[in-house]
Amino acid sequence: MTKETLLMQYQSECLSALKSVANIHKPFEKNFMDTMKLFMAIPNRINFLQLGRYGCFSEQTYRNLFENETFDWFAFNDFIISKHLTGRRKAIAIDPSYIPKSGHKTPWIGYFWSGCAGEYKRGLEIMGIGVIDVDNHECMTLGSIQTPDCKTLDNMGKNLVDWYSSYLISRKDKIQSISRTVVADAFFSKETFITLMCENNFHVISRFRNDVVLYYPTLEKKTGKRGHPKWFDGKVEFANLDLTRCKEYQVNKGKLYGLRVYAKALKRYVSLSVWYPMNGRTDKWQLYFSTDNSMDGREVLDYYRTRFQLEFCFRDGKQHAGITNCQSTDFRKLDFHFNASLAAVNLTKAACKRLGITYSISSCKSFIHNAYMLERFICVFGINPDPQVFDKLFKELILFTARAA
């Protein structure tokens, strides 16, 4: 790790992505670059007070920047993704995430499901939209959007699933330029969501409940007589799966089968992946499906499992990039903060990839914080160190407190 590695590469990746976004003015560029650097350089809470303390501009300047609601985060992140997610098989992953928040004046504050707490809690929720690289088992976020509270949804005349689907459809031109496949958890395996997405040329990969009602398609041929042959050959019993209709795939653990079935709840045929996690036992199973009938059982499982990489983006954003720290009650500032936090995680991954080092968000944050503080000391105090001595000391100091990846 040398003095011009991680921090400078992080800034280089940020500047390249920023140049790809249209209509960027020089003052905005300087402020934005400094802000993105601070999201990785500030060691603790990342809010306007901290930005003013550590940064090159006043606290009010950062507040003004966060009011920008025209910045295209999708274009910014798409540039990074196109350079660093190199696998052939890509898909769009979506997942809501709970953000703790108190008070009464914050827009769209309400009760949302917290997976960590296992209950509904008061706060905010954002829906993260990520791009997963199935071949390399990686994910980078494309953007995020705040979820409306129940009262707002009632005024819109929509439920939560309708709102999620309508937002994705509103951004379908950008999303479908990357992939037409959307991967989501079991909450989204509802007929209203699936139908709307398929009508707009998306395919959905998700998970069924274990008690879902599925039917085998009939194997009967048309006889030429009046009336249509029967549609189905019976209900699928997962404790006693008809293996003659399935294709088995080799997996590291358990048994995996793929077959085509009719889903009563979705009112359509789907490609189903049935995984029995314990060898020799058929009393426990997990069911994954795709509306793309050309997918085989292994592909469906691979895509769904890679979706979990989006959870790691949220984890890194919450633990190290301050996604939960914004103290504003302004909708625009909250949106900018959420997206900047997730973009900072993307930039860190991109810098690590470019330098060929193992990605560890905690180590990277320590490197960048140490390098940034050294630069600030040298700049503020007007120090002009001897380059030969400085290079060695700089390397030692930026590695100070950094944990091994």
Q: Is residue 51 part of a domain?
A: yes
pLDDT value for 371: 84
The answer on pLDDT for 121 being more than 50 is yes
pLDDT in tens, 140-154: 999 999 999 999 999
Residues 61, 20 share a domain: yes
Q: Are 342 and 323 in contact (CB under 8 A)?
A: yes
The answer on pLDDT for 203 being more than 60 is yes
The share of the chain scoring above pLDDT 90, in percent, equals 79
Residues 374, 301 share a domain: no
Residues 339, 284 share a domain: no
pTM of structure: 0.91
Residues 298, 230 share a domain: yes
pLDDT value for 220: 73
Q: Are 303 and 134 in contact (CB under 8 A)?
A: yes
Place of tokens 């990605």: 359
Q: Is residue 357 part of a domain?
A: no
The answer on pLDDT for 1 being more than 90 is no
Q: Is residue 154 part of a domain?
A: no
pLDDT in tens, 270-301: 999 999 998 878 889 999 999 999 999 999 99
The answer on pLDDT for 400 being more than 60 is no
pLDDT value for 394: 60
- Per-residue pLDDT band for 110 (boundaries 50, 70, 90) equals very high
Residues 372, 289 share a domain: no
| Burial group, residue 165, by CB count within 10 angstroms (0-12, 13-18, 19+) | buried
Q: What is the mean pLDDT of the chain?
A: 91
Crossing angle of helices 73-84 and 6-19, rounded to 10°? 120
- Assign 3-class secondary structure to the chain: CCCCCHHHHHHHHHHHHHHCCCCCCHHHHHHHHHHHHHHHHCCCCCCHHHHHHHCCCCHHHHHHHHCCCCCCHHHHHHHHHHHHCCCCCEEEEEEEEEEECCCCCCCCCEEEEECCCCEEEEEEEEEEEEEEECCCCEEEEEEEEECCCHHHHHHHCCCHHHHHHHHHHHCHHHHHCCCCEEECCHHHCCHHHHHHHHHCCCEEEEEECCCCCEEEECCCCCCCCCCCCCCEEEECCHHHCCHHHCEEECCCCCEEEEEEEEECCCCEEEEEEEEECCCCCCCCCEEEEECCCCCCHHHHHHHHHHCCHHHHHHHHHHHHCCCCCCCCCCHHHHHHHHHHHHHHHHHHHHHHHHHCCCCCHHHHHHHHHHHHHHHHHHHHHCCCCCHHHHHHHHHHHHCCCCCCC
The answer on pLDDT for 401 being more than 60 is no
How many domains is the chain built from? 2
Place of tokens 């490609």: 271
Task: Sort residue 328 into left (φ over 0), alpha (ψ -120 to 50) or beta.
Answer: beta
pLDDT in tens, 22-35: 888 999 999 999 99
Q: Is residue 246 part of a domain?
A: yes
pLDDT value for 142: 97
Residues 274, 340 share a domain: no
| Burial group, residue 33, by CB count within 10 angstroms (0-12, 13-18, 19+) | middle
Q: Are 142 and 77 in contact (CB under 8 A)?
A: yes
The answer on pLDDT for 3 being more than 60 is no
Residues 343, 290 share a domain: no
pLDDT in tens, 216-251: 998 777 666 676 677 788 899 999 999 999 999 999
Going by C-alpha positions, the residue among 208, 83, 202, 205 that lies closest to residue 138 is 83
pLDDT in tens, 69-101: 999 999 999 999 999 999 999 999 999 999 999
pLDDT value for 278: 85
Instruction: Report, in angstroms and rounded to the nearest whole number, the Rg of the chain calculated over CA atoms.
Output: 25
Q: Is residue 170 part of a domain?
A: no
Residues 230, 274 share a domain: yes
Residues 339, 291 share a domain: no
Residues 14, 53 share a domain: yes
Residues 342, 284 share a domain: no
- Assign 3-class secondary structure to 194-252: HHHHHHCCCEEEEEECCCCCEEEECCCCCCCCCCCCCCEEEECCHHHCCHHHCEEECCC
Token pair for residue 70? 């025209």
Enumerate residues 6+ apart whose C-beta is below 8 A from 400: 370
The arithmetic mean of pLDDT across residues 41-63, rounded, is 94
Q: Is residue 196 part of a domain?
A: no
Neighbours of 272 (CB within 10 A): 23
The answer on pLDDT for 182 being more than 60 is yes
Give the range of the structural domain holding residue 13, as residue numbers without chain letter. 6-68+335-350+363-398
The share of the chain scoring above pLDDT 70, in percent, equals 91
- Per-residue pLDDT band for 161 (boundaries 50, 70, 90) equals very high
Q: Is residue 55 part of a domain?
A: yes
Q: Is residue 264 part of a domain?
A: yes
Residues 233, 284 share a domain: yes
The answer on pLDDT for 374 being more than 60 is yes
